[in-house]
Amino acid sequence: MSTGLRVLPWSAYGFCGNSTPAILPQTVRVGLYEEFPNPWRLDKLKLVDFPVTVAIAASSRSEFLALRTNVLQKYPPVHDVYYWPVLSPDEGYYPGTWSAAQAVQRAAADVEGLPVLWDLETPRDLRGLSPASWWSNRTFLDGWFRQRNAPVYLWRTYPTMGFDSGFLRLIGMNFDPTDYQSLSLQLDLYSTNRGLSGDLVGLIVRCGVERYGSRFMPAFGVLNDGEGPASLYISPESLRRNLRLARAAGVSEVWLFGVNGLNAEYITAIRESLPMEYSPH
């Protein structure tokens, strides 16, 4: 997934975010992404003592099912595992509207009946970009989302354009949960270091809850796995602030990228910021 968040204009959220939830959810669920589920990265789940959902990237149903079985058996705090389908790099990697149409449809068939994280990003480094496929993909995904019964967590970027940009709809980079019964929105709010201002984060999450209720899930990150300069990652202090703002807005589920970046500081920030049901190790 992409990292970093551009500066957002106030105008995208100029007519929302003024309400305060009358009742906050009793607990807030935490979700974690794992794009490269090798053993040392997944083993960070040992740090967790509260219920989590994990989205695991896999290139086939059989690969995902094997990973899911392993994670559920080895890490008791993991209560749900979502299938995050990825394509080959030459097909566009993410099963979004600008990847190869045949591969997108194959991925949709592969996740049948399973809870899914559907990543709408454009192909990485534009490898596998398929402009000729965008219209058929847009039409196909619209119909597929409408007939889905199993949950779809839709991950999308471009928060600068608000929640329901007509332009993003046109190019197939946004599908609004109000139109699809099984769809929830995970909005990319990744940031680096100190990140966005608290006022702006608070406004976005309040707007999200106003519009989508429990089907709005802010995606925060990237957590620091020690593989690069600290300035590339969100600090524990900024994560704590963002989680508290999400809690105050009435968010019922937040997502963090990713499992491999979990450490004691981040775990403490989560525990101190969100009400959760705890599970013993």
279 pLDDT band, cuts 50/70/90, is low
Backbone angles phi, psi at 109, to 5 degrees: -65, -35
**Partners of residue 34 on adjacent β-strands:** 56
Rounded Cα distance between 141 and 230, Å, is: 38
pLDDT for res 266: 97
Model's pTM, two decimal places?
0.93
Structural fold of domain 24-273: TIM Barrel (3.20.20)
pLDDT digits (tens, 9 = 90+) for 164-198: 889 999 999 999 999 999 999 999 999 877 667 88
Residue 261 has pLDDT above 60, yes or no: yes
pLDDT digits (tens, 9 = 90+) for 133-163: 999 999 999 999 999 999 999 999 988 889 9
DSSP 166-219: HHHHHTTS---GGG-TTEEEEEE----BT-S-HHHHHHHHHHHHHHHGGGEEEE
Q: Which residues contact 203 (CB under 8 A, 6 or more apart)?
A: 10, 13, 16, 17
DSSP secondary structure code for residue 98 in this structure:
T
Task: Give the pair of three-digit tokens for residue 86.
Answer: 């990825």
Amino acid at 258: G
pLDDT digits (tens, 9 = 90+) for 212-247: 999 999 999 999 998 888 889 999 999 999 999 999
pLDDT digits (tens, 9 = 90+) for 125-135: 889 999 999 99
Backbone angles phi, psi at 83, to 5 degrees: -85, 120
280 pLDDT band, cuts 50/70/90, is very low
Q: Which residues contact 47 (CB under 8 A, 6 or more apart)?
A: 262, 263, 264, 267
Dihedral of the alpha carbons of 232, 152, 80, 1, in degrees to the nearest 10? -20
pLDDT for res 76: 95
Rounded Cα distance between 219 and 234, Å, is: 12
Which residue in 277, 217, 248, 270 sits closest to 20, CA to CA?
Answer: 248
Question: Average pLDDT for residues 112-121, to the nearest whole number?
Answer: 97
Q: For the chain, give the mean pLDDT.
A: 92
